[in-house]
Amino acid sequence: MSRTLFGTDGVRGRANSYPMIAEMALKLGAAAGRYFRKDGSNVHRVVIGKDTRLSGYMFETALTAGLTSTGMNVLLLGPVPTPAVGYLTTSMRADVGIMISASHNPHYDNGIKFFGPDGFKLNDEAEAEIEALAMNGVELAMAENIGRARRIDDGRFRYVERAKASFPDNLRLNGLKVVIDCANGAAYKTAPEVLWELGADLVEIGVSPDGLNINRNCGSTDVSTAAAAVVAHGADVGICLDGDADRVMIIDEAGNVADGDQIMALMAARWADEGRLRGGTLVASVMSNLGLERFLAGRGLRLERAPVGDRYVVERMREGGWNLGGEQSGHIVMTDYATTGDGLIAALQFLAAMAETGEPASALSQSFQTVPQLLKNVRFDAGATPLETDTVRAAIADAETRLTGNGRLLIRKSGTEPLIRVMAESEDAALLERVVDSVVEAVEAAV
């Protein structure tokens, strides 16, 4: 069964433009309700969280209408991180969890992500079935079986306690000055609360959402403000989350940035030393740097690669029984603690390493030398298929030939934006630039 609405991370697009319109959200809510309420009883429930986008109000209301119309009872969490929805779906014995967020995208985008009763994101097959129901229509509940909706006021606090429980009981953050950038997003209250309760001295950035400033000049996709704050305040470390707090970037005391690959390298090495890294394996996406693979191999550990998207990383982790994975973009998945990427809990793991070893952030955040990597994006119009043209295929084949033995090439269509991503790795900088530009020029000509 094919999917056209769902991408690599739910349904996503510009708010009030198809498919991210209220009507489609209502249909998706009704479809999800019918999919999960198969026995027709009124004991089924769904939890809904959202980030701080203005359009979240509209989608929250539309989803609630669709879900209750098929007899589902709705529990509204308000603004909470995406991993909180995964956790509370299971904690509150819900049949489905929904997060309204476009993650790291600007405010004018939004998205709808679905979690199953086990707290993990739905697989492609389940999404395809929900999409088919949404497009074809569903049978509504009888009037006496319409669902109810209620606000859950303490969902944020439940997640705060969950996050704190991941931090070693014998450690404190007393004496550490931490810059925390919440991207004016879903963790604008939870992240500072957790860090303050653990003893950190905080400098807070991106904690004043107005519905339009999420991810704007802040967060994990724009760390410049936080990096400057670390240096200006003499902070020990900076933590940059994205709009729904499932990603993180770490900034050391000199303002240098560590991405998801470097964070995973530190965690994998520490967990392996502690006997906690299951199967001696880390799962990462095809975008992760070759330097990470070499670092792990040097320690007798293995890197398992998955398609781009934290959902696919998690699926590979579950298939292999592994407990640590993530993406270069800052998704860090620790199934000992969470069912999806959790930027705050990953940051706590890094802070625990600082507190335990006494090492500065700079000594912990650069575990390996990265292989030069170049990524360029080409935007295309909806419906265009530039990767299927003969000229683009020829350019890709030529680039792969030129990189043989000197690096690797990865071409992919973004699952969240209308972009073709062209990425290559090579220690030959001139070759790297030439092969990427040759493919980009061919794609640009095709679109």
- Beta carbons within 10 angstroms of residue 122's beta carbon: 21
Residue 40's pLDDT is 67
Q: Report residue 1's pLDDT band, with 50, 70 and 90 as the boundaries.
A: low
Which whole number is the average pLDDT over 178-199?
98
Closest CA to 349 of 296, 423, 270: 270
Which whole number is the average pLDDT over 408-423?
85
Torsion sign across C-alpha atoms 128, 130, 133, 135: negative
At residue 51, the 3 state secondary structure works out as coil
How buried is residue 304: exposed, middle or buried, by Cβ count under 10 Å (0-12/13-18/19+)?
A: middle
Which whole number is the average pLDDT over 207-230?
98
Residue 381's pLDDT is 82
pLDDT digits (tens, 9 = 90+) for 87-118: 999 999 999 999 999 999 999 999 999 999 99
Structure pTM? 0.90
Residue 9's pLDDT is 87
Q: Report how far apart the first and last C-alpha atoms of the chain are (Å, whole number).
A: 28
Closest CA to 176 of 230, 223, 227: 230
pLDDT digits (tens, 9 = 90+) for 16-58: 999 999 999 999 999 999 999 877 677 899 999 999 999 999 9
**What letter represents residue 380's amino acid?**
F
How buried is residue 276: exposed, middle or buried, by Cβ count under 10 Å (0-12/13-18/19+)?
A: middle
pLDDT digits (tens, 9 = 90+) for 315-330: 999 999 999 999 999 9
In this structure, what is the dihedral angle of CA atoms 416, 422, 427, 431, given to the nearest 10 degrees? -170
Distant-in-sequence, close-in-space partners of 337: CB < 8 Å, separation ≥ 6: 162, 166, 345
* CATH numbers and ranges of domains, the chain: 6-153 (3.40.120.10), 157-370 (3.40.120.10), 373-446 (3.30.310.50)
pLDDT digits (tens, 9 = 90+) for 113-153: 999 999 999 999 999 999 999 999 999 999 999 999 999 99
Question: Length of the chain in residues, anyone?
Answer: 447
% of residues, the chain, pLDDT over 90: 87
Alpha helices in 183-333 (DSSP H): 190-197, 224-233, 260-273, 290-297, 310-320
The residues that bridge with 178 in the sheet, in sequence order, are: 202, 237
Active site positions, annotated:
103
**What letter represents residue 33's amino acid?**
G
